[in-house]
Amino acid sequence: SKRAREAFDLGREDPNVSKRFGDGEVNQSALLAVRLIEAGARFVTLTTGSWDMHNDIWSRLDKNLPMVDQTLSALLTTLEERGLLE
């Protein structure tokens, strides 16, 4: 549908909202999730790749937690602002 195609065009997003999410792949995937929900998707899945932390857990947490914190905060804030949490 036209709505779905437009949802995939992240360049149409307000630059301030896009900046809130950040530039990383996971960050922009979360922004896309918001846009897909807004376009009518009833289910979306986000992934960060591998969270297998059997080795070297502390250095991986130092890398992954700031990204997850920013992404989840932006995701929930944006969904709430757009009335999409219900």
Predicted local distance difference test score (pLDDT) of residue 64: 81
Contact 37, 15 (CB under 8 A): no
Spans in the chain with pLDDT lower than 70: 50-53
Q: How many residues does the chain have?
A: 86
Predicted local distance difference test score (pLDDT) of residue 1: 83
